[in-house]
Amino acid sequence: MESLLSFRPALADRLAPLARALGLEPGVGTEVLVEAVVQVSSFHEEGFPLAPVVFIGRGLEELLQAVHGTHPVLLGSGVVSLECVRLALRSCAPLAEGRQWAIVLLVGEGQLQFGVFCTDRSPLRVTSFEALRTLPADAPPLVGITSLGERVVGVRGPGGANLFFDFSGTAHLESGSPMRVLADFVEAVTRDVPEPLRPQLRAFYYRIGVEVVSGAHGALVAVLDARAQAPDFLSDGLWLAEPLDLTALALRYEAEHGERDALGLIAYGSLYRRMIGMDGITVFDSRGRLLGYNCFIRQQVIGQPARKVVGGARRRAFEVLCGEVGHSLAAALYRSRDGAAECRRAPSQS
């Protein structure tokens, strides 16, 4: 007997409470959320994957205020339906690539308006998507949807809802969720930052981590314990004469909120992302300083991993780095080109 199995009923079951919180009509309202999640999981433009962020709410001003958004541009409207959702996302996704702009879907009285708005670009503040996590219980109901890697989608919603959907079928349970990968990386790279500035640098590195995890290229990052020397096998690379420390710049920006300092922090974030996107290993330390990039492990070391490894050179190098986690390294972050991500972090110190 022939049968067709679909994952949409399972998605609908998980997303129905969020649709109710938004005040959407049963059935079609849930399908709107399901369609948005499915579309975000597989956006491509001329063969290249896109990773837009989508926000769904009822009122534009309350949505912008909640996620620190500005400069909305409404682009169209129609009757709430799957066809309208597809049109909205197809029209807006290329505009929202790079996360400087986000897609907004406004639903109410059977109508759907769509457009884009500028996300919070403050380099030391949480992203617009993360801002949903900090909303009070009585805040207007909003839903955020974002890509967190190849065919992995994260959804935040009212009441602390925090869902992940893997459409690839290749997620590894030991790797944990993409948000856990991000959290471990951010915790390690800011572990020894002085406390008054630590929350701000956590936000800075979270922004970098999101783009690494959701990007279209592979990455390998080592976080050196600030009290340790770099392992000898990492000597082959481009090491800075002096560690690049953003503490003074960040402190001045926090005190004065000057445009020059803001642009400087944004530019450094872009520079770090480009370094991470290059071949080899990018090295930070647990005080949030950049030490080097384009680093490679000697072939003799890679040829002797601690355990049998399935994967290419980047995965084998990651396993070598993992052997140093808890010794000279505070963490190692791996992201494959096919979207798998993992972060090994040394146990927290008392």
Q: Quick one: pLDDT band at residue 304, thresholds 50, 70, 90?
A: low
Q: How far apart are CA 206 and CA 226, in angstroms?
A: 19
Task: Determine the Cα angle at 75 with ends 59 and 110, to 5°.
Answer: 50
Average pLDDT over the chain reads 87
Q: Quick one: pLDDT band at residue 271, thresholds 50, 70, 90?
A: very high
pTM, 2 dp: 0.85
Mean pLDDT, to the nearest integer, of 281-307? Answer: 81
CA 60 to chain centre: 24
Q: In what order do the strands lie in the sheet with 281-285?
A: 236-244, 290-296, 281-285, 219-224, 329-335, 341-345
**pLDDT tens-digit series, residues 14-34:** 999 999 988 887 788 899 999
Q: How far apart are CA 24 and CA 56, in angstroms?
A: 11
**pLDDT tens-digit series, residues 193-222:** 998 899 999 999 999 998 888 776 789 999
Which of 61-70, 247-256, 319-328, 334-343 is predicted with the least confidence, judged by mean pLDDT? 334-343
Query: Between these two residues, 42 and 59, which has the higher pLDDT value?
Result: 59
- Give the per-residue pLDDT at 28: 84
Q: By C-alpha distance, which of 301, 297, 294 is closest to 279?
A: 294
Pick the CATH number of 174-345 from 3.30.56.10, 3.10.20.340, 3.40.1700.10, 2.130.10.10: 3.40.1700.10
Q: Quick one: pLDDT band at residue 42, thresholds 50, 70, 90?
A: confident
Domain boundaries of the chain, sorted by first residue: 8-166, 174-345
- Residues 163-194 as b/e (b if ≥16 CB within 10 A, e otherwise) read bebbbeeebeeeeebbbebbbbbbbbbbbbbe
Report for 79-93, 135-149, 294-308, 333-347: range of highest mean pLDDT: 79-93
